[in-house]
Amino acid sequence: MTPAAPLLPPADWRDFLALTKPRVMTLVVFTGLCGMLAAPVAIDPVLGFTAILCIALGAGAAGALNQWYEADIDAVMKRTAQRPLPAGR
């Protein structure tokens, strides 16, 4: 009989949010918003909202891909060992 694999703790919505690196994403969205406000012409509100939403989604996806790519390195570093992917969530 083979030993059972240990059960991983279930992922929480906070884990998925942490994958997007919200503090970094906030800086990217703020920079995009400042750029749109400094534009020499008025931006359509729907287009502006869509642009900010796309910037936020792109930044969040980049943060998640970065954490996936560096999960093995994060697992051995004390500061990052409890992030969702290195912790197995």
The full set of domain ranges for the chain reads 13-76
Q: What is the pLDDT along the chain (89 residues), one digit of tens a residue?
A: 566 666 666 778 888 888 889 999 999 999 999 999 999 999 999 999 999 999 999 999 999 999 999 999 989 999 888 888 888 88
Q: What is the pLDDT of residue 1?
A: 58
Task: Tell me the C-alpha distance between 14 and 20, whole Å.
Answer: 10
Task: Tell me the C-alpha distance between 16 and 79, whole Å.
Answer: 19
Q: What is the pLDDT of residue 31?
A: 96
Q: What is the pLDDT of residue 5?
A: 60
- Contact between 59 and 25 under an 8 Å Cβ cutoff? The reply is yes
